[in-house]
Structure 1
Amino acid sequence: MRFYPYKLACLLAFGCFVSVTWIKSIPSDEGSTVMPDLQILYKRLLVAEELGGQVSQDLSSILEQLRNLSKTGNDTYLYSVHNRTGFKVSVVLGIPTVKRDKQSYLVNTLSSLLFSLTSSQCQDLLIIVFVAETNLDYVNSVAETIMKNFPKEVQSGLLEVISPSQYYYPDFTSLKETFGDSKERVKWRTKQNLDFSFLMLYAQDKGTFYVQLEDDVVAKSGYYDEMKAYATNEASKPWLYLEFSQLGFIGKLFRTRDLPMIAEFFLMFHRDKPIDWLLDHILWVKVCNPEKDDKHCTEQKALLKQRYKPSLFQHVGLHSSLPGKLQHLKDKDFGKQTLYKAHNNPPAEVSSTLKHYQTHSLKSAYEGRDFFWAITPLQGDYILFNFSQPVYTSGYLFRSGNIETNGDKFFNTTVEVLPSSVLARHKVAIPHYRESGNGFIIVGEFVNGLAEGKIEAALQPVSALRLVVHSDSDVWALLSEILIKV
């Protein structure tokens, strides 16, 4: 996998942003008669309109260049084996990440987002990680870490990693200290405005909805379906964004058609205020009437944002990306995380050579009351489901790991069935099946902690199903979902 940093001169953007200072910089003709106040104001408004139009044209030009770059394989800032072009997904998740002095939460965040996704959901979702740094060595190291931990997701185009040109960011040394913030904090919030804007501009033609996240959050199991369903149901209403977390800018969902306007607003005032304040100002500009009171303004702004409960994303990072800052932010509406998914499975006697930890037994997991958590598996260990009566099963699903212990997965482990009739066992000549010991036939295996598949009619009915470990593991193993489809 080769990495290509794009070379678009984004300094054009900042050149046009300087024009926002027009009202204070219009020269007057010293040799002429002083114009009346209204005439001066009118002249300045004409200049403002002209410069505002230029800002819009410059931003549109940059958007078009970003759009073209995302469709090419050369001279681009895209870090992905397969870039999804030619179709839009329903939901795009944008995650900016920066180099932290203490601890990185990015891999855990991505693991949480990817944990319970189905294959169809993966086809309808795009996750964009924006490495908001210009040090190419660091950017490459992040891309390589993501590729190592999520090779399938990168290969399929589900995960994209992008980075800016070294020319994207302006000189931060001339920033004015405002609102009692230190120079370091003013720089941090200014850069954050630019980072979020970059992501929005890049994502605006890739899906129907765009969700802004951060690199130190966890997602609630089932977040994708809940978020998409709510956004679709509310699509006819005039909201600007939906909130799936009450914290800062986390979990804010926008229609992608609104992203150019939002990013343009952020870019025009990127030096002035924090990103969440600017978002609130957009609402004020859209609906607040200066001739009416604050109560009316608050009521009107409430129509442009809608809050979904319970929250689907929780902030977990202790160390902020702002050096030296500790964050103890927690969303009280997030609630307790579900660590397993229950199903009604056919009656069976369950057994295993694996020793379970504390009360997390195999029986409890099979009956949908808990997850199964086993101490380090060794080669030859197995889990057996011996059905009370032979069953006709259309398929199976075993999910290992959960949100809190995502690394405790089954590796090099096969799924095997025991046909109830001797005749069916002799039908193992089917090309894609292999025979195992004691009459069992291998029908599948765990891939990245998940085993899912169908069982052909030729092998039905089934007397038993088992999971067999074929090599020693370095970690414990956890089954958070057991489903025998009947």
Structure 2
Amino acid sequence: MDIPVVTLISVVTHLNWTSVCIIFDHETEQEAVQLHESLSKIGTFDVIFRMEEVTSSQIDLLENTSFKGAPDIITFVVLCRWESSQQFLKQETLPLSAFNGIKIESKDTNNTMNSYYLDMQKKKIKMHALDLNLTQKISKKMKKRKNILQTILSLVTVMVVIVVFQTVLFVIQIQNNAQFYQNYNSKESSIRPITSTKEVIERSPKRMLYPQFDLDNVNRNWTDTVSLIRSSIETNRRYLTIGLVTAKRPQNTVYLYNTLKSLITNANREDFKEIYIVILLSDLDQEWRTSMTSEIVKRYPQEVKNGTIKIIGSFDWMYPSLTNLTHHRKWHSKSKATWKAKQNIDFVLLWLYVYKTKLSEFYLHLEDDVITVGGYIKAMKNFINDQKGEWTCLEFSELGMIAKLYHTHDLEALAKMVALFYQEQPADNTYLHFNPQMLQFRRIIRKPTLFQHIGMTSSQWGHVQALKDRFFVANDQKKVLKGDNPPAKVFTSLRSQSKHSPENAYNTSFGYFWSKSKARKNDNFRIIFNKPQSIKRIVVNSGLDVFPEDKIYSALLEISSKSINKNDCTDYKIIGQFVNGKVDVQNVPHLLNTTDIHCIQIRFQKSQNFWVIIHEISIFLKR
């Protein structure tokens, strides 16, 4: 039995359907065209007209189909012969009371039509639920995407604001620096005049107001006043001046002597004739200053006598106010801000001294806790000569203000810029802004570098400064004995520095092991051979000349021929004991009565207060 068109229209209208899909096959094409025309003229709803084969799974297809621009409620009506629709429409029975009050305009109203109407009602309810579920899923996905887009947009906005802010700060600083150089590098200085009280100042120097200063106006002979030792030999202009500032450190720690030793012993006699070393004793403690001066003269009398080493001191009247500093980094404590500000002025005084005395063509700024390598002067000369273009600063260390080389004639400008920002930032930040002002827009660093920072105890009380230059290659990293050292695994209970791993102590070419923790009782350092070895001699050297305290103080050397697993042995036998950081055991087979040795162990007997450097482990095999 066919479904009357008028009945279908009544059903659709009663249920408030907003969209009708007419699906037909070849057998029902004529009826479908008629229905499409009727619905299009009479109905107040959208009509979707499509042809496809009606199959047993048609209902699943319809339930999962959505149309572009579909309204809130999408209902599918299948046009086909009634007897064929029963083959694929899922029949469900509901009480007839569910249709009370519904009038269907059809003469063919009967149980068959009620069943059809029931199917349409169920279909509407089911499809409405599916549509709501789909809408909720789409809404959730859209909301999630919206949140992601908002987050990305927020991050981009923040990044843009940061870039703009940094650009503005950079432009402002460039303008300030340009104005500074216009004011202070002109022939007619715009410095605030203080000559009106010149006579009084010469008798009793007053505190300077930085950066508006000129030490010549305060004391016309100030370069002589600051000299703590005067040489009888006339000063001649040399190739290079090395400048160091040293101050009192906690626990009477002094690194300066190791630095001087490294500078002097690593320069040959001819090269040393071309340099000056100027040491500024910046602590105002007169007793400490006298003691340091006497010790330097005692250690290096010839260098002091011929004027190669010059010792100068700073005085209270040379410093601006170092109290109640306001223009410093907010995260710095008052003590650190004061320490940094004073250090800046220390550098300024040293640079102005070298500039005024015209000691050399070039100036190298160092700190008092560094070491260098053999032939460093020649290496610097070669690097200077290799520069093809103009330059302002060459760097022989990547750290801070260590090993920065300038033309001596640029030191006054550098000093004034550091003095200008003496409260705001340390010199090792300011010089990075100074160089671009002098038209050098990139750092020029020699690699490998020539100087290494060795200090741990900072002159800032209560502060530890364990910085290391990653590009430094020291002479003392080279092996001396170079034993046979068969393939093995190396383990230790000590925490090690990443650049100084345990394997560095065992290899025969380069490097050393350096712990970053103090050795405790029963800490160990083990070598596990890949296969048993016949060993004649074992030598272990700890410590370095530049770090003489970082050695093994009390430990035993043990060997074992009984392996537990690939990483350890048992039944260790003592064959030697460390003396002054070293152990050298020969005739090993006679001590153990075996030639098959699996493991070697260094076992600490006592805790010690210093880190541990193992420079070289040499294993000599029996042939």
* TM-score range relative to shorter protein: 0.5 to 0.7
Which residue number in structure 2 is paired with residue 143 of structure 1? Answer: 293
| SS across alignment from 2:346 | helix
Hey, what does 2:236 align to over in structure 1? 87
Change in CA separation of 1:158 and 1:274 when aligned onto 2, cut-off 3 Å = same
Counterpart of 1:116, as a letter, is N
1:277 aligns with 2:426: no
Question: Is the aligned partner of 1:317 residue 2:468?
Answer: no
Larger deviation, residues 150-159 vs 247-256: 150-159
**Structure 2 SS opposite 1:173:** coil
Structure 1 regions of 5+ residues with no counterpart?
A: 1-44, 288-299, 343-368, 371-401, 408-486
Once the two structures are superposed, the pairs formed by residues 134-213 of structure 1 within 5 Å of their partners are 134-176=284-326, 177-204=328-355, 205-213=358-366
Matched letter for residue 333 of structure 1: F
Distance 1:121 1:286, change over 3 A: closer
- In the TM superposition, what are the counterparts of 1:22-171 in structure 2 within 5 Å? 53-55=189-191, 61-62=214-215, 68-70=221-223, 76-82=225-231, 85-102=234-251, 103-171=253-321
* CA–CA separation in structure 2 for the residues paired with 1:219 and 1:141: 26
Cα drift, residue 405 of structure 1: 8.4
* 2:397 aligned residue: 245
Contact 1:80 1:160 in 2 (8 A): yes
**Structure 1 residue aligned with 2:418:** 266
1:461 counterpart residue number: none
Tell me how far apart the structure 1 counterparts of residues 450 and 184 of structure 2 sit (CA, whole Å): 44
The RMSD of aligned alpha carbons is 3.3
User: Shift of residue 85 of structure 1?
Assistant: 4.2
Indicate if the aligned counterparts of 1:93 and 1:126 stay in contact, CA closer than 8 A: yes
Long gaps (5+) in structure 2 = 1-178, 195-211, 481-508, 511-543, 550-623
Distance in 1 between residues matched to 2:279 and 2:333, nearest whole Å? 28
Q: In the superposition, relative to structure 1, how do residues 406 and 77 fare at CA in structure 2: closer, same or farther (>3 Å)?
A: farther
Distance (whole Å) between structure 1 residues aligned to residue 184 and residue 274 of structure 2: 41
Distance in structure 2 (CA, Å) of the matches to 1:169 and 1:60: 10
Instruction: Find the aligned partners of 1:264 and 1:83 in 2 and give their Cα distance.
Output: 32
CA distance in 2, matches of 1:152, 1:49: 44
Q: Distance in 1 between matches of 2:436 and 2:241?
A: 26
User: SS state of the match for residue 306, structure 1?
Assistant: coil
Percent of aligned pairs sharing the same letter: 29
Structure-2 change in CA distance of 1:118 and 1:340 (3 Å): farther
Query: 2:441 — aligned with what?
Result: 301
| Change in 2 beyond 3 A, CA 1:101/1:60 | closer
Q: Using the TM superposition, give the Cα deviation of residue 278 of structure 1 relative to its aligned residue in structure 2, in angstroms.
A: 0.9
Deviations 1:13-39, CA, capped at 9 Å, x for gaps = xxxxxxxxxxxxxxxxxxxxxxxxxxx
Instruction: Name the aligned partner's letter for residue 79 of structure 1.
Output: L
| Larger RCO: 1 or 2 (CA < 8 Å, sep 6+) | 1
- Decide whether the 8 Å contact of 2:371 with 2:546 is kept in 1: no
For residues 88 and 56 of structure 1, the distance between their equivalents in structure 2, rounded to whole angstroms, comes to 33
Return the offset for 1:246: 0.4
Q: How does 1:431-442 map to 2 (within 5 A)?
A: none
Native 8 Å contact 1:319 1:325 kept in 2: yes
2:354 is matched by which residue type in structure 1? A
Aligned-pair CA distance for 1:276: 1.4
Q: CA-to-partner distance for each residue in 1:452-482, whole Å, 9 max, x for gaps?
A: xxxxxxxxxxxxxxxxxxxxxxxxxxxxxxx
**Per-residue deviation, 1:318:** 0.7
Offset of residue 326 of structure 1: 0.9
Task: Give the Å deviation of 1:327.
Answer: 1.4
The structure whose Rg is larger is: 2
Structure 2 counterpart of 1:224, one-letter code: I
**TM superposition shift of 1:404:** 3.7
Q: Deviations over 1:32-53 (max 9, x none)?
A: xxxxxxxxxxxxx99x959993
After superposition, the Cα gap between the structure-2 partners of 1:49 and 1:107, relative to the gap in structure 1 and judged at 3 Å, is closer
Q: 1:126 to 1:83 in 2, by over 3 A?
A: farther
Contact 2:293 2:311 (C-alpha < 8 Å) held by counterparts: yes
In the alignment, the residues of structure 1 paired with residue 479 and residue 192 of structure 2 have an alpha-carbon distance, to the nearest angstrom, of 49
User: 1:312-370, CA deviations, whole angstroms, 9 ceiling, x for partnerless residues?
Assistant: 0000001111111111211111124247999xxxxxxxxxxxxxxxxxxxxxxxxxx99
Take 2:238 and 2:476, find their aligned partners in 1: how far apart are those partners? 27
Aligned residue pair count: 286
Alignment of 1:464-479 (within 5 A): none
Q: Give the AA of the match of 1:214.
A: E
Which letter maps to 2:471? D
TM-score under structure 2 length normalisation: 0.42
Q: Distance in 2 between matches of 1:190 and 1:61?
A: 18
